[in-house]
Structure 1
């Protein structure tokens, strides 16, 4: 209510001032002629533009009163006719002015709204990779986001054909863009943008066709980078591969348990047969030292194989190992006959140097010898084919830091980027390999409190090294 009162008084004030100024103008123009109601029309127009209809009525009324006071009429009829004529004309002009003012206000509002929409559209286009082409496929406009995605400046991109920005975007792709929708790459996958000194960036392109009356732009291409999507797909593939590896490992674990159970009996029988063969040779009384020694070695290895299987069965069933105090140098030396046979079959020289000082460790002898045998076999495989193939097995005491065992070869070595992956299950650098040897070996070493590492050997190939804590340290831990 207060606002309406305020509006009425402000409108009345405008009407009074406008009429007062019009009267002053009429008086000033009186020496030049009789203008009567003409100056009052301006007062009514100003009031109509600035105030409401009630104020316009007030301005018309005041104008008629002022004119009747200032002009001597011939009669009441003349005054009445002129007043009515002025009122009708002034009201019509006032309505025209009001409508014109409303149209101007609407136009200003539309202009502001259009400016805001243009700002919003410009902001959106700045952050979205958009490229426009003409009918011939020439680049017309490139948004900043598109220029950054394509790895070029906007000024340069607008002067280059689009197929130079996105290799492979030929006439067939342009024709597909004219149809609208996603523009498929010529080969399975994504479009690729080659940024300077960077990896290719995968893209998808979606096209929209503009109306014919928009010139020169005809096709709008929306670019979308697919690096994150492709990375997610790659992680999904990696996860699937790992799940498959886990499934294969579980299957192999079941097979290993079955084999451990089934092979124990034939190995025991083979050991009995070898013992019987030794007894038969002894009865002949003929000198057969070499044959007897070979049979002893064969029987020892069969018994060792049986022990490995027994330990594996215990590990699979209970997950535990049997640790006893051992001399690390003696465990290495006991494998000398095995290493000799491995080297003899492959023409690779295997050198053993084991320091016997301060070499007491707490270990599962069979498991640790199996891990060392795996490392030596891998080293021999790497040295095969090299001139003067050589493998070195060295053990030395490091005092309080434990006992270190290193297996080195003069093969080709292991690339730096593969030194972590070679310990993963199902990963092998050998043709036909199952990728379990190094994984099992590392598990054995870690169960003994050590860590298996790989580096560059002084012989030129690979060097696998691990340390075993002394028996007192492992007991304290």
Structure 2
């Protein structure tokens, strides 16, 4: 038998009712008079064949004792004595008196036996009723509770429907199967610890899990108790509790706490960025002036050559670009505005070529530019798009920096009527699937010393231009990041 039977009986069953509870007084009188009357008629009918005295009246007393109380028995004995005295003829008064007394004593003794028998029957009825109620309650509790009983080998002997539903298995299919087939990490040897007063400890990661046939996993709490040895083959009772929803709520709470922590850090970074944008403009401007003054001083001494002049020019342009980035950052933080203007993508990338050259030389990674200069007019914030493109190139270079013959390609193509598409791809290991969901989340990074803001800022810039970053796999098996820039409409061109 694999399933605890239901609390509802198989057929209609009436509860026991005590027949002598709260009987009216006339009920006992009616029983006594009727019993004695019937006995008198029987005695009278038998007088023709034999002479009887009190013997036919004895069943009347017994019937009264079985159906009524003691005072009704006394009434029946009195009526029987009177009826017998009225019917007896030719017997002395002494014999009648002696026989009446003997009848009364014997009848009362038999009545007492009948009364005790009745009490025993009533007690048996009450016990049967109590047992039925308790059985019904226990059946209801067991039917509604996830309970499993095991033998000493850890095989399932009995399982309730709720437990079978929790394990997503039919009760009959679970019978005589190892419990470890449904709950991973369960070992029948763990029950020995429970028998010594211990608890059933789950294996790492400190939780019981049940793998269901549909592929889902249920988190469980299992409590065990050991049965007495004389209840073989059952050895242990396991009480199961589903913790799947509780674990999900706990995980959501943990994720929410992390999200709130990241939000607080981003807010702090926003305040810091606004302060830095304000404070760094002045030293950057001063550095530009000093570079220009240094260049003029070299010219006056006649020492400056073409290489030095180019270096001074590149340093000055990068300082000016840094100052422009900081100014745009401050404007975006304070007002959220963009400085949109018509730009050519080929010119934008050409301005970044010296930066890409330095990145390539420092990391020993080749950076290939393949930019189509036809139909490359777009409406963008030049500085922000350059910042986004630089972030993607730096990430790609870092991904292949430890790889032999690492290569990063920046590809630009015009998409007829839909703008201009830029793609940054590499021949590195690519992006794992489990990282795609958190790739653009701020404060998420795998780099030592990284802040996890590069891709987050890049996506914000692209989305603020009405675009979307698409992550894929390059032809060489590495990562690929692409986005489209909005075209110049006829109205905007006018």
TM-score (norm: length of structure 1): 0.79
Q: Deviation per CA, 1:111-168, whole angstroms, max 9, x where unpaired?
A: 122122123213323443445578x787685433556667888789776787887746
CA distance in 2, matches of 1:183, 1:58: 69
Q: Deviation per CA, 1:392-448, whole angstroms, max 9, x where unpaired?
A: 33242452x554433333322222332121111121244443211111111222223
- C-alpha change, 1:289 and 1:188, in structure 2 (3 Å) is closer
2:462 aligns with 445
- Whether the 8 Å contact between 2:149 and 2:159 is mirrored in structure 1 is no
- C-alpha change, 1:159 and 1:6, in structure 2 (3 Å) is closer
- C-alpha change, 1:256 and 1:311, in structure 2 (3 Å) is same
Determine helix, strand or coil for the equivalent of 2:91: coil
CA distance in 2, matches of 1:199, 1:301: 55
Q: Deviation per CA, 1:10-40, whole angstroms, max 9, x where unpaired?
A: 5554444433443344355556644432332
1:382 aligned to 2:413? no
- Whether the 8 Å contact between 1:339 and 1:350 is mirrored in structure 2 is no
CA distance in 1, matches of 2:125, 2:195: 38
Alignment of 1:93-172 (within 5 A): 93-131=110-148, 141-144=157-160, 145=162, 167=185, 169=187
- Whether the 8 Å contact between 2:185 and 2:203 is mirrored in structure 1 is no
1:303 to partner: Cα distance: 0.5
1:43 aligns with 60
Unaligned ranges ≥5, structure 2: 1-20
Q: CA RMSD in A?
A: 4.1
- Whether the 8 Å contact between 1:180 and 1:209 is mirrored in structure 2 is no
Aligned residues: 467
Determine helix, strand or coil for the equivalent of 2:131: helix
CA distance in 1, matches of 2:124, 2:37: 32
1:418 aligns with 435
1:394 aligns with 412
1:324 aligned to 2:345? no
Determine helix, strand or coil for the equivalent of 1:334: helix
2:257 aligns with 240
Determine helix, strand or coil for the equivalent of 1:335: helix
- C-alpha change, 1:113 and 1:466, in structure 2 (3 Å) is farther
Determine helix, strand or coil for the equivalent of 1:183: coil
Q: Deviation per CA, 1:305-341, whole angstroms, max 9, x where unpaired?
A: 011122223344x242233222252434433333343
Q: 2:368 aligns with which of 342, 345, 350?
A: 350
Determine helix, strand or coil for the equivalent of 1:466: strand
Unaligned ranges ≥5, structure 1: none
Higher RCO (Cα < 8 Å, 6 or more apart): 2
Q: Which structure has greater helix proportion?
A: 1
- C-alpha change, 1:98 and 1:402, in structure 2 (3 Å) is farther
Determine helix, strand or coil for the equivalent of 2:439: helix
1:207 to partner: Cα distance: 4.5
